[in-house]
Chain A
Amino acid sequence: MADFKKLRSSYLWKRSLLFLGVFGPATITAMADNDAGGIATYSVAGAKLGYPILFPLLLITVLLAVTQEMGMRLTIITRRGLADLIREKFGVRVSLLIFAALLIANFGTLITELSAVMTTSAMFGLPPAPTVVAIVLFSFLIVTLGNYRLTQSIMLVACLFFLSYIFSAFKSKPDWDLALGNLLYPHGVDFTRAYLRDYLIISIGVLGTTITPWGQFFISSFAYDKKIKKGRVFLSQFEAYLGAFLTDFFSFFMIVATATTLYVNHIPLESGEQAALAIKPFAGELAGKLFAVGILNAAFMGLVVVSLSTAYAFAEFFGISGSLNDSFKKGKSFYIVYLAQLALATLVILSLRISLFKLAIVTQTINAIMLPPVFYYLIKLTSDKALMGQYANNKFQRIFAICCTGMIVVVSFVAVGVYFFTS
């Protein structure tokens, strides 16, 4: 039929724009891993341990890619969110258990973001408490009054800050052989007992800041909200891998930057100003200001994304409608859950005033510990042939994911044990 020739050409034209349209959920989730908690964790990692901490990063990246891809595939094929499926297949008790894990992990992360806001407001000379409240209010407004596309645009712009780490890493002239070599095996440093203890604990922190329970739920809900067609599975998979690579691409440079500027000179990482030294080679005197803006931005992103994931999960598990495209009136419970966590986190941070860099590792470790139950159900669902049809996990994916989950459980126990028995 001749008329279809025109259809075909416009179809091809559309396909190239398609990728840009799908480009969103996985990249944003991956980028949001570089939230304030992430920046703090990677900075501490590089500053305290130098290049060898790059070794776990590679493995973590692969695991991130695999789990994000599973999450996206699950939603695209079944057209349901992760929480929805868990509720339907495993019932109320399991739902409550997983939701509790998510809530705890997320709450820790929220407190970390707010702690970052306090740290940076000091760098700007702003009063910390009102700044925190202002940022929280802004996070609330943007989500209730805005909609999916607006939120996505803001977050994509925020990702540009991380470029400064890349430039800084190059300018500070690190030992590239040593850095890249450490991706393959850790070396070049004195592995004392104290060092190994820190190494273990910080590795779990790095894991927990890169792969998070909320990330798993978020990618599923965000992809659902965006309504991606089944035919675009391949593109989404590619995007999931790309997103994972991008996130740790930036983490790599963050670690290298702090390792070269702070570790090498034995500067301890306790304040925002010290952390800003990591981008001084690139930003010069503006390092402090740039870092403050960047981390504030990252904190904001983290606040929105993490609270949203809790709200999404709550809606899905317990049956309320939850979508960024609903007005406040329609999705009251959804927005209330969103605000309640932020409000509670604000109260906690204002009363406790904990240092960001100490807090980050602890909360990100909690994130890591909450991963195994989430992964367990994720793997179970994505391996279910009745559910996924031809898109069910293949052997490699299943075995790899199960092994990693097992490893996470073991290492978490060891790390927590080491932390409590040797401090």
Chain B
Amino acid sequence: MAFLTEIFSSEIIKRPVLDPKGEDLGRVKDVIVVKGDHLPKVSALIIDRKKSLYVLPWNSLNIFNKRILSTNTYLDSLAPYVLNPDDLLIERDILDKQIVDANGAKVVRVNDIKLGGYDDDAVLVAIDIGVRGIIRRLGVERSCDGFLRVFHYSLPRQLINWNYLQPLRSKLDPITLKVPRQMIADLHPVDIAEIINQITPEEGSHLIKGLDVETAAETLIELKPEVQAGILTSMGAEKAADLIEEMPPDDAADILNDLPIEHAQEILGHVEKEDAEDIQELLSHDEDTAGGLMTNAFIAYGHEITVAEAIERLRLDAKEVENVYYIYVLDRKEKLMGVTSLREIILAEPDCHLADIIRTNVKTIRPGADKMEAAELVAKYNLYALPVVDDDGFIRGIITADDILDILLSAGHRRG
């Protein structure tokens, strides 16, 4: 049967289906969908006749439009059907559920589903997320339109193409397209996190599982602690460790800090030794101190090397270190001697020694100092990063300006 018009699921469900003679066979209870060549397609209708369920495969349908639904099957050849949790049903599994609009990067709710024709199949073309969808579900679309026409107003259509939709349940994976998954992965991690904040932890972790490790790690960092905890829990310690390894150590420490101890220990157990040590070091400091804020990934070279050598090393180190703007320079005893910046390095002669171009009056802070003190220093001296130096003069880590911003903003403004 060639399906030519467009029709909404609310216009099918609960409608009667007729046999070839025009007799009533039953009412449509739900619609089974399966993976299609591109868009998901309708595979069968489930009809309800006097409390019993029967299934009508798609190819047995004759007429399929807003007015009439009819089949070439007679009552006596109706195949019975048992509700199966594995089947994908429109009303049970898709309608009224939340879904991600990858194009708009937001979470929306499915009010209705539009079906269209493709070859001989009926495929899911789009979902209706607007008020019109709700009105149609209630069966009053026409009356409403008529009423509003008096005011020269027409309810807008708010449809989102199935191409852009990323469902949230793993059950709907078979009918999820690659494109929306890719679109979400291309979003800024902060935007992905925003989406995850609106859905449950299980749905969130399902979404994150579909992302590559780097994006997943970046997204996880942006989430609120309770959401992070929920997602990491439903992930399993090994996968969680993979994500933790991808993150800068200070973000990893922050996340682990908010988890219950046994859980954090378990994840750390699976993390690569070097990364785990870095994170441990950071965890030993109290959250509200400079030590709790800092990251121990920074650039520090000996004073005797040349600018050219420094640039070569930077090329390698920049892979692992996020903040490479300041290059800290150490003396013979490996204590902090001075600092120079990437800008200085670019402007300097390649055969200069680092000792020649550094500034020795470095503003530093003790690990135990209060975080607000760090904020004040960064603001006062216009720093991009503030080195954290212990009593013996060794540099233990740096506090970057973006972390300072977070403190200052949450001091005045709510942070949920």
A78 at the A/B interface (Cβ < 8 Å)?
yes
Give the distance in Å from the alpha carbon of A96 to the alpha carbon of B137 in the complex.
11
* Nearest chain A CB to B110 CB, angstrom units: 9
Interface residues of A in 60-90 (CB under 8 A from B): 78-80, 87-88
Give the distance in Å from the alpha carbon of A43 to the alpha carbon of B200 in the complex.
44
Give the distance in Å from the alpha carbon of A78 to the alpha carbon of B201 in the complex.
9
Give the distance in Å from the alpha carbon of A12 to the alpha carbon of B109 in the complex.
40
Give the distance in Å from the alpha carbon of A227 to the alpha carbon of B230 in the complex.
12
Q: Which chain A residues lie closer than 8 Å to B111 at the CB level?
A: 92, 319
Q: Which chain A residues lie closer than 8 Å to B131 at the CB level?
A: 318
Give the distance in Å from the alpha carbon of A88 to the alpha carbon of B93 in the complex.
10
Q: Are A7 and B261 in contact (CB under 8 A)?
A: yes
Q: Are B224 and A6 in contact (CB under 8 A)?
A: no
Q: Which chain B residues lie closer than 8 Å to A7 at the CB level?
A: 257, 261, 264, 283
Q: Which chain A residues lie closer than 8 Å to B224 at the CB level?
A: 227
B414 at the A/B interface (Cβ < 8 Å)?
yes
Interface residues of B in 123-162 (CB under 8 A from A): 129, 131, 134, 137-138
Q: Are B96 and A92 in contact (CB under 8 A)?
A: yes
Give the distance in Å from the alpha carbon of A96 to the alpha carbon of B200 in the complex.
24
Q: Are B97 and A88 in contact (CB under 8 A)?
A: yes
Give the distance in Å from the alpha carbon of A7 to the alpha carbon of B264 in the complex.
11
A91 at the A/B interface (Cβ < 8 Å)?
yes
Give the distance in Å from the alpha carbon of A148 to the alpha carbon of B226 in the complex.
18
Interface residues of B in 193-213 (CB under 8 A from A): 198, 200-201
If A3-B283, A7-B257 touch, whether A318 touches B416 (CB-CB below 8 Å) is no
Q: What residue of chain B has the Cβ atom nearest to residue A88's Cβ?
A: B96
Q: Are A319 and B283 in contact (CB under 8 A)?
A: no
Q: Which chain B residues lie closer than 8 Å to A78 at the CB level?
A: 200
A93 at the A/B interface (Cβ < 8 Å)?
yes
Per-position 1/0 for B276-289, Cβ under 8 A of A:
00001001101100
Give the distance in Å from the alpha carbon of A319 to the alpha carbon of B283 in the complex.
41
A385 at the A/B interface (Cβ < 8 Å)?
no
Q: Are A96 and B138 in contact (CB under 8 A)?
A: yes
Interface residues of B in 252-273 (CB under 8 A from A): 257, 260-261, 264-265, 268
Q: Name A residues whose Cβ lies closer than 8 Å to a Cβ of B.
A: 1, 3-4, 6-8, 10-11, 78-80, 87-88, 91-93, 96, 147-149, 227-231, 318-319, 321, 325
Q: A6-B284, A92-B137, A321-B198 are in contact. List 20 more A-B contacts (CB 8 A).
A: A3-B284, A4-B261, A4-B265, A7-B264, A7-B283, A10-B286, A10-B287, A79-B200, A80-B200, A87-B96, A88-B96, A88-B97, A91-B96, A92-B111, A92-B138, A93-B137, A227-B226, A229-B229, A319-B129, A325-B414
Could you give 16 example pairs across A and B, Cβ below 8 Å? A3-B280, A3-B283, A4-B261, A4-B283, A8-B261, A11-B261, A79-B200, A87-B109, A88-B96, A92-B96, A92-B111, A92-B138, A93-B138, A149-B414, A227-B226, A229-B226
